[in-house]
């Protein structure tokens, strides 16, 4: 079954439907009575919640829910959850609504192809889930035929079809982007003096990704200036990030000068903010 789904490029759709059907088992009865999944697209799950109190509560539990979903699927499919106010019955009853619809919907596939797709779902014991997957297979197979005729090719990382000139699908592209983001940050933490062209020798990335990662790391170190555990190594890292000076040319005087300027600017910024706030009262 998994190989069949992969060859048809519908593994993600199957997994999304599987999460919806088994939601109560994954999240537990209490959460399922207040929240129900609507869809999973591009790594984002849209979750209907019946009130704002539970939206806030589930926001606190979000990382744990994501881990449970991915553990159930045995793959990292969901990377974030977004909450939407809604009537849960509309989504909880969707399985019953589909049971009453005809299995054979109008399609460009012939009867032999339809029979083959139905047989491909034979391993699914849950009848509701099997029908849902069958609908997905019919729709996706027809779409895939059209896409291939238009020159679409498989994503370099998975079997999802992507437009001509595009290498990765949206989900894989997002995952790859996150990997580069982490790699750039790690590289600059270990070698903060590197320029963009030098860093590309180790981690290929765009100028925007490099400068965004560098800016994010600078801000993180600046805000950590006054936190417990701050040491001279962090100060040297911050100075090299901001000046590009290499380790063999940095000295204590330079570090102290730059750090003093940063602290002075922060103090001035806080003073101005306090003055504006006092003036508005």
CB atoms within 10 A of CB 2: 9
CB 24 within 8 A of CB 78: no
Antiparallel, parallel or unpaired: β 44-49 and 35-41: antiparallel
The CA–CA distances, whole Å, from 230 to 34, 189, 223, 237, 254 equal 44, 15, 11, 12, 18
pLDDT single digits (tens) 223-253: 888 777 778 888 899 999 999 999 999 999 9
In terms of Cβ atoms closer than 10 Å to its own Cβ (0-12, 13-18, 19+), residue 183 is middle
What tens digit of pLDDT does each residue of 198-222 get? 999 999 999 999 999 999 999 988 8
Decide if 83 contacts 47 (C-beta within 8 A): yes
pLDDT band at 4 (very low <50, low <70, confident <90, very high): low
Write out pLDDT tens, residues 165-179.
888 877 777 778 888
pLDDT at 184 over 90: yes
Is 0.75 surpassed by the pTM of this model? no
């Amino acid at each position: 079954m998994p190989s069949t789904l992969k060859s048809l490029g519908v593994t993600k759709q199957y997994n999304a439907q599987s999460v919806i059907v088994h939601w109560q088992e994954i999240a537990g009865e209490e959460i399922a009575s207040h929240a129900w999944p609507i869809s999973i697209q591009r790594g984002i799950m849209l979750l209907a919640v019946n009130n704002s109190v539970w939206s806030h509560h589930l926001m606190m539990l979000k990382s744990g829910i994501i881990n449970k979903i991915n553990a159930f699927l045995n793959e990292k499919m969901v990377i974030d959850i977004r909450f939407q106010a809604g009537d849960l019955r509309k989504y909880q009853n969707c399985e019953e609504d589909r049971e009453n619809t005809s299995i054979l919907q109008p399609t460009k596939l012939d009867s032999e192809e339809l029979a083959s797709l139905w047989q491909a779902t034979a391993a699914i014991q849950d009848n509701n889930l099997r029908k849902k997957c069958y609908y997905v297979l019919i729709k996706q197979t027809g779409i895939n035929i059209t896409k291939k005729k238009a020159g679409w090719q498989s994503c370099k990382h998975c079997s999802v079809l992507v437009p001509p000139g595009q290498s990765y699908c949206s989900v894989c592209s997002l995952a790859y982007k996150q990997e580069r983001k982490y790699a750039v940050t790690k590289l600059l933490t270990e070698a903060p003096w590197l320029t963009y062209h030098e860093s590309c020798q180790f981690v290929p990335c765009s100028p925007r990704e490099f400068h965004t990662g560098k800016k994010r790391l600078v801000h993180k170190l600046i805000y950590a200036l006054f936190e417990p555990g701050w040491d001279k190594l962090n100060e040297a890292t911050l100075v090299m990030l901001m000046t590009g000076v290499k380790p063999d040319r940095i000295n204590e005087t330079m570090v102290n000068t730059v750090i003093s300027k940063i602290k002075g600017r922060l103090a001035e910024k806080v003073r101005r903010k306090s003055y504006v706030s006092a003036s508005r009262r």
